[in-house]
Amino acid sequence: MKNIFLAVLCGMALTSGSGCGKQKTAVTVAGSTAFQPFAEKLAEQFMEKQTDIAVTVQGGGSALGVQAALSGAAQIGMADLVQLPPEARDLTAVVVARDGIAVVVNNKNPVSNLTTEQIRGIFCGKINNWKELGGIDHEITVVSREAGSGTRSSFEKIIKDVTLTKNAIIQDSNGTIRETVAMDENAVGYLSHGLLNEKIKAATVHGIACTTEEVVAGRYPIVRPVYLLTKGEPTDATKAFIDYVCSDEGQRTIKESGLIPAK
């Protein structure tokens, strides 16, 4: 984060003409909050090699990523969607990773396996007590992402026919979903499998775990691609960053960080 902060200050020198010495070419990357921490790490590594380029990474969600790329507010948009929206047809899309979406429960919850039908019932509010799933007799706390989230859009498209219950708690990032589920023994949510940790438990889906091995093998059912989007073919500094993310080193970083490389 320190490197990114310094890069932003240096990028300001493009307009101020002062500050960090030699002017840098600024590249703004915006969109998916699920991919944001991975993009930040990639940007740090890239800027260590390309010291004449300042990459700033911002969140906001996949819908914002598409719009930012279209409007030019960002040189690169990030979107983690099973299907890009129609307006994205005017953008150049590069798949840089794949990501399993884990359905997560509290570590103390005895329920450890769900079917897609049960997941649909939970998030629609038709299944509202854990005892219906073999758990304790307690109301289920449903935690979901906000509208415009790529994670939510992909989750609902894969699970199909999800009309989110009005009782759901809405969170604005994968991280806040993780913390909410970790603090509530009766909560259930979903998040990028790259952000799983020991605070929560990922339920298996039809007996299949949300792991890199199962995603790569094509067995885990809830998987979406991660796109970098540009208006037209990327050039110069923008192309250099995308090329780095797609390089062997960039893809190795993606794998080591918990996502699935695109190649």
- The domains of the chain, with CATH numbers, are 2-97+227-261 (3.40.190.10), 99-216 (3.40.190.10)
- Look up residue 216 and give its amino acid: V
Q: Residue 16's pLDDT is what?
A: 34
pLDDT of residue 220: 96
* Those residues with Cβ within 8 angstroms of residue 98's Cβ, 6 or more apart along the chain or in another chain: 215, 223, 224, 225, 226, 259, 260, 261, 262
Q: Give the pLDDT of residue 7.
A: 40
* Tokens (6 digits) for 211: 């792991």
Q: Closest Cα to residue 202, out of 56, 131, 102?
A: 102
Identify the bridge partners of residue 111 per DSSP, sorted by sequence position.
none
Rounded Cα gap, residues 114 and 133, in angstroms = 8
- The structure tokens 């960053």 sit at 241
At 216 the pLDDT is 85
Q: For residues 152 and 95, what is the distance between their CA atoms, to the nearest angstrom? A: 19
Pairing of the two strands 76-79 and 223-230: antiparallel
Q: Residue 175 has which token pair? A: 């991280």
Q: What is the pLDDT of residue 148?
A: 85
Cβ burial of 101 (10 Å; 0-12, 13-18, 19+) is buried
Q: Is the pTM of this model over 0.85?
A: no
The confidence score (pLDDT) of residue 21 equals 56
Containing H/E element for 252? helix 248-256
Separation of alpha carbons 251 and 263, rounded Å: 8
In this structure, the number of other CB atoms found within 10 A of the CB of residue 234 comes to 20
Give me the average pLDDT of each 10-residue run along the chain (263 residues): 38 39 88 94 97 96 95 97 93 96 98 98 98 97 94 95 97 94 98 93 97 90 96 97 98 91 86
Residue 66: per-residue pLDDT? 97
Per-residue model confidence (pLDDT) at position 30:
98
